[in-house]
Amino acid sequence: MSARDRFKRYRGLKSFRTSPWNPKENLTKDYARIYKIVNFKRTRKLALEAAKQSFQSADECDEQFCTPGAYITLYVKDVPRSYETHISSTQSPLIVFGLLKNEHRMSTLNMILHRYPTFNKPVKNKEELLFQVGCRLFTANPVFSQHTNGQKFKMERFMPSSGSFCATVFAPITFPPSNVLVFRQCSPEKLQLIAKGIVLDSNPDRIILKRVRLSGHPFKVNKRTAVVRYMFFNREDIEWFKPVELYTHSGRHGRIKQPLGTHGLMKCVFDRPLSVQDSVLMNLYKRVFPKWTYNAETKGKQFCISDEADDILEEEWSGKKDKDLIEVWKMEIMQHARSRAIVLQDFESLLNDLNSRKDKFIGNNYVKCQGGSDDTFDNISFDLSGDQLTDSITTIFSDILLSANNLIQTSQKLFESISMYDEVDNEGSSVLETIVEFLPFLQKLEQFVYTTSELTKNLLLQIHGFLTFGRNEIKNHRADQLPLTRMWRTLGELLSTFAGFLLKLFSYKNFLVLDALILSHPFLREHWAVLLRSVRLVQFNPAQFDLEGLSSGRLQHLNALIERLDLVLMNGKILTNTSIKLTRFDQLSSDRQFMERFRLAIMQMLTNWEKHINSSENAIPDKKRLICLLTLSKLFHHLLPERQKPDKKIISKLLGINKNLISFHLFADLLFIPFDFILKEIPGASKVVDRKVFSTIEIAKGCQLNKLLENLYKYVQTFSLNLNDWQKRMQDEENGSASDYLKFCDLLIEGIHMGEKLNRLLKYILNIHLAEQKPISKANVRQIFVLIQFVKTISNTFTSNWNFIIEAINYGCVYLSTSILSILQSIIQSNGESKQPFFANSILNSALSLSQPVGRKALIVAGVSLELANYQKTLRGNDVQIDETLKKLDILCNFGHVLSNSTDLSFLYWHRLSLMQAFCEDLIQEQSIDFSNEDLPRTITDFFSAINECGRLIISVKHCDQQIFLHTFSNELFLIITNNFLSKLCTEIENDLRLSYHQQQSSSFEQLEKLFSSQNPLQQEEKPLNKLLLNLLQIPKIKLGNRIIVVFDYVTNYLSSTFYNFSVIALHDSEAYNRMRILAKHRYGLNLEDYQLPTRCVDQGLDLITLMSEERMSKFLEDYCYDLDEQFFIERSSQSKQLAIVRVQQIVNSIKTHGIGILDPLVKKFFYLQNKYNM
């Protein structure tokens, strides 16, 4: 349906408050039945004065009036006799009240209401409610609207949870001040008080408007001009809505200049420059009227007013308001209970068969492996050597490293929550509601920043204190010369968590710098600015927002909180502020030996990183170590004295990184460029860098994408060979003996590395395309699909062999820790009584930690002890073996976490729309499918399983309800797969059935059954298209978010509904569709229902529906004559060989065919003829 047809009753307003709207325009028929008071206040005043005069006349003993306490007789007339039995059967008194002038007339009644405090359930607009207005008791369906100043009021879809609102109904006129009580029926015998208020007026001219918001996205932006898409999808809609004003979230206003093309693109002009990340919006309004549902019949109902509703009764009674339906309601409850019992029995049977049943394809794999001891304690509690000095230093550093490890793991969840903020849809809620919902998370983030900053300061001071302390106190062991690589690396990892918020994202075209991860989300920055303005406005003028009763201390506390969050988080300088805070410790900058030790540590780690890159062609660059080096270099240059120049050796060494790594994926959809970070964050780096380096880097940036795409096919082939070889060796080792466990552990680590390479390649390719905003060619997209399938293959291989993997990991951890212990034991025995007790005690501490069950804490204590023993110098020849063994132990002990990181495909969330659309479009094409490939269903399942992993990020959403976000995510994917795959698949199968029917049109039903009766009923013709369609129908269930898609059932339902609809339109084609049902059953295995529609009737004659059409009815007397002898109408002349006649039998046949559906056109024609005769 086009937009101009869908919104034909809507109009645009330049200003909701000041734009005119005629209250007499397009009124409903119900407005002809009501009475309007021209001057409501004057009429109310006169009515009250008349009532007052009547009271005075009663006091003067006028015979027309009676006094209170007098005995009188009432004669009731014009009341149904059923009321007599009702009054006599009940014990409640009969209440009689009088009416003021005009209160017997019907009009629109406007009431100002407030929600009752104990009621918190949602109430829909136009839901039936019970009103007690003054003395009147009636039911009606109110229209809720805002209670504001102005002539137009915005409709509320639900009853507001706070504040005052207006409810409008058709009811008798009631003059204020009359109290109003609103009840909701929650069961046949219970009412719940949901709102209370007073009568406002009886004004039929109150304009209530319903708003609809259309949204579009800028496609191309050129200052104040932008090309907008996705708001409309054809040229006619754009021309129709061209006069309506546009606006954006950032406050720009504009208009449609002209449409571009025929697919919904339009050129728009705005008053200020527009951002690409902004959204273009259009507001449309239509007037809403109340329904005539006034009903004062409340007799025979005994209600019990209850403040607390029974949730079960309210849920089951929803929609049942009449007492006559109570028995039906009880039967439905019993039927629902039986159905629920059957579902529970089926579910129990599924659980019982779960162990014996293995699904053909796996949708979700949840993998977790915990090796070693329980790591639930925060502090180190191992038995150490007994030397107080050595044990204290080891414990301090180990505790700090363990706390840092916990904070680093926590930071990943925080990153995900921030990156998901810009995916919110604010159409259902305001900007303030969204950012206020995000405030608790920002407070948690502020606490994390403070904790990490304090731990970073503590670790740096501990390193400085140890090096200073070791120069004099630790004899025969030059502690000041220890490299302390693990401590420096942990310091860099803590700083890199701040860099995770602050690392820059640069576009390759415009060199656009986004000051931080927080600043990379325009919605977050804009929403935060709105919150700041609102809080400051409330603080200076609380009376404007009805906050006078709120204490000023609470407002000041809120303002202080937001100002602190703005200073700590939103300025984008967390890393810089932390580095500046550390410069306040003068003992760090003034200690030359410490600064030299700091510089040597950075240079040594840079050298080791380059050695690892150059060791082999397949070496994986450690991007985490690289970020640590960059943040340490930034901290080092901040700690340098102001007069000292930047270290050229460190900067030149860092610039050498660009030879091996130009950029890499950071997280979410961000790319990180080390060269840009060096220039912007390290003080004085821009003065050291040569200008030729700038041009070289820019050329490398522009060429890296093309080089990567040129070699993409080679990468896929190489990964395919390596993956097949790895899978074969995994199967061989799994069937081996227990002595092959160590080799199997090496294969596990090899699979982890392969998955990490594939993951990095996918992230890099997709995010470079996203950053450059270049479309991906179909050939490259297919290679990306193959890489995704490789990652899922690795994950499924680990999952299928998980029992054997756990056993091998336990054996491998014991074997590797024993090998390190043997080396350390030989060293301890060879030294005997060493002259260096600190060295001997450190070696002993590492041996004691590894003798415990291997876990994360044991490895941290062992690594710290080896660093204190300076094992790289004292254990030359064995240091490399120890490093490699510790790395393997770290992977095996945390194998579940490492595996989930290396095979995690949740990053596809930021590319889900383009990949889903490309995959679905490519899936239905014959040229892109290998029809002999038996793994086609597995390929499709792997891809959708990878897309479904994006749902893991929804758990990190903090700015809105996660279930609503998941529902939106699922509907978005379902719409893509429906439009690009399921609909096309249904069309292809329908076309194939139609062509096959025309080929077998002369065959009878028996011949068709014999033609397809063979041993294989699903035998297909030797056509590639038939094989493709049959393979696609065999796709297993697809899970997308909270939706489950069954392709076979979807196609079956589509064909059944399509055949039925066409058969109803043309009954004579029912036989053709019955033949197509037989073809569908034997060709594709589809069981389509036959609805047994009538195909023909005896003596059908002329159809009454055709006769009552406007063209024939207007010319009926000209075309037909009446035969008095035979009593029927006969056609005067006809182009066919026979003349049409209209008998009673023809009318009866038409009624038999069409059923009750013939009444509507028949009644319309009756009134049409009645009007003609009256004229």
pLDDT tens digits along 482-502: 888 888 888 888 888 765 444
Q: What is the DSSP-derived secondary structure letter of residue 195? A: E
Q: Look at residue 364 in the predicted model and tell me its pLDDT.
A: 45
Query: Within 13 Å and on the Cβ side, how many CA atoms surround 1150?
Result: 19
* Length of the chain measured in residues: 1175
Rounded CA gap, 1011 and 1033, in Å?
23
Q: Look at residue 34 in the predicted model and tell me its pLDDT.
A: 92
Residue 650 pLDDT greater than 90, yes or no: no
Q: Report which residue type is found at 829.
A: Q
Rounded CA gap, 21 and 204, in Å?
14
The region of weakest confidence among 38-52, 279-293, 812-826, 872-886 is 872-886
pLDDT digits (tens, 9 = 90+) for 328-375: 555 555 665 666 666 666 666 665 655 444 444 334 443 444 433 345
State the burial class of residue 500 (Cβ atoms within 10 Å of its Cβ: 0-12, 13-18, 19+). buried
C-beta of residue 577 within 8 angstroms of C-beta of residue 501:
no
Burial letters 998-1023, b for 16+ CB under 10 A, else e: eeeeeeeeeebeeebeeeeeeeeeee
- Phi, psi (rounded to 5 degrees) for 396: -65, -50
Give mean pLDDT, residues 601-611.
86
Residue 276 pLDDT greater than 50, yes or no: yes
The region of weakest confidence among 815-829, 937-951, 1095-1109 is 1095-1109
Give mean pLDDT, residues 555-577.
72
Rounded CA gap, 495 and 627, in Å?
9
Residue 57 pLDDT greater than 80, yes or no: no
| Portion of the chain with pLDDT greater than 70, in percent | 77
Whole-angstrom Cα Rg for the chain = 40
Rounded CA gap, 146 and 200, in Å?
13
Any alpha helices (H) in 318-475, and if so which ranges?
326-352, 388-419, 431-470
Q: Look at residue 336 in the predicted model and tell me its pLDDT.
A: 59
pLDDT digits (tens, 9 = 90+) for 202-217: 999 999 999 999 999 9
Rounded CA gap, 770 and 227, in Å?
19
Strands 1128-1131 and 1120-1123, bridge-based pairing: antiparallel
The region of weakest confidence among 135-139, 292-296, 444-448, 959-963 is 959-963
pLDDT digits (tens, 9 = 90+) for 259-275: 998 888 999 999 999 98
Give mean pLDDT, residues 558-576.
72
As a whole number, the mean pLDDT across the chain is 78
Rounded CA gap, 765 and 749, in Å?
24
Q: Look at residue 359 in the predicted model and tell me its pLDDT.
A: 44
Residue 725 pLDDT greater than 80, yes or no: yes
**ω into 177 cis (within 30 of 0):** yes
Rounded CA gap, 287 and 300, in Å?
37
Q: Name the residue among 1065, 1168, 950 with its Cα closest to residue 416.
A: 950
Q: Which residue has the higher pLDDT, 456 or 1066?
A: 456
Q: Look at residue 376 in the predicted model and tell me its pLDDT.
A: 44
Give mean pLDDT, residues 1129-1150.
79
Rounded CA gap, 786 and 922, in Å?
13
- At residue 807 the predicted structure's pLDDT band, cuts being 50, 70 and 90, is confident
